[in-house]
């Protein structure tokens, strides 16, 4: 599901071209890390946001992104703007919240957004407010498409074959955090619903 989600969002919805600037929010996570690499393979200039310096370092040094913005830094908005001096053409949106607000302000006309998730609001007791600059989506003529991967299962076989070949040829790096031991399964499962600090996909090795 992780790979299919990233694949559909990039290839079927965003369709980045060489020279585009693509922003992937929560790029240190399971879906985001794959989406960022797929966009990079399409020839785009890719910026990723992530929580913490360690994840940001992984994005640039291991995955080859052009820039990474630490969402936990006090001046992250300034860093995001500096990373996209020519604006943003495509967005793989996983986070929502303040990051989405800041992103909208940087969008170029006729930008495209693949709305995959809204992580920032998942654990809040009340529904968060919408973007304060929502009107810019109209004035900039932005195409925004929410998607649920279950609607695209007819593409699963093609996506799996393509991703498997990319991994086999070491053209993409499937980032994983492996937790050893069946006894850690409950705690690890709960972590998938919290703002955990693990990079990539969280896996429990029960062997």
Number of domains forming the structure of the chain: 2
User: Strands, DSSP E only, in the chain?
Assistant: 21-24, 45-50, 67-70, 88-93, 107-115, 143-146, 176-180, 201-205
pLDDT in tens, 10-66: 999 999 999 999 999 999 998 999 999 999 999 999 999 999 999 999 999 999 999
Range of the domain at 12: 2-151
Same domain? For 133 and 180 the reply is: no
Same domain? For 35 and 75 the reply is: yes
- Position 194 scores a pLDDT of 65
Q: Has residue 159 been placed in a domain?
A: no
Q: How far is 92 from 114, CA to CA, in rounded Å?
A: 5
Q: Has residue 170 been placed in a domain?
A: no
Q: Per-residue confidence at 175, pLDDT binned at 50, 70, 90?
A: confident
- Position 56 scores a pLDDT of 95
- Position 195 scores a pLDDT of 58
Q: Are 136 and 105 in contact (CB under 8 A)?
A: yes
pTM score, whole prediction: 0.89
pLDDT in tens, 103-152: 999 999 999 999 998 877 676 777 777 788 999 999 999 999 999 999 99
């Amino acid at each position: 599901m992780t790979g299919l989600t990233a694949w559909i969002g990039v290839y079927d919805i965003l369709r980045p071209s060489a020279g585009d600037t693509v922003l992937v929010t929560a790029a240190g996570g399971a879906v985001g890390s794959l989406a960022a690499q797929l966009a990079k393979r399409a020839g785009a200039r890719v910026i990723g946001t992530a929580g913490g310096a360690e994840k940001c370092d992984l994005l640039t040094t291991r995955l080859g992104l052009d820039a990474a913005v630490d969402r936990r830094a006090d001046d992250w908005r300034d860093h995001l703007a500096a990373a996209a001096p020519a604006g943003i053409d495509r967005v793989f949106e996983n986070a929502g919240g303040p990051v989405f607000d800041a992103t909208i302000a940087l969008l170029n006309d006729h930008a495209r957004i693949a709305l995959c998730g809204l992580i920032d609001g998942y654990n809040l007791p009340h529904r968060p407010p919408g973007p304060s600059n929502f009107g810019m989506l109209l004035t900039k003529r932005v195409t925004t498409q929410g998607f649920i991967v279950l609607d695209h299962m007819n593409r699963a076989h093609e996506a799996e074959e393509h991703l498997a070949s990319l991994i086999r040829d070491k053209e993409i790096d499937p980032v994983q955090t492996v937790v050893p031991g069946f006894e850690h399964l409950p705690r690890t499962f709960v972590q998938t619903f919290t703002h955990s600090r693990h990079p990539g996909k969280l896996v429990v090795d029960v062997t």
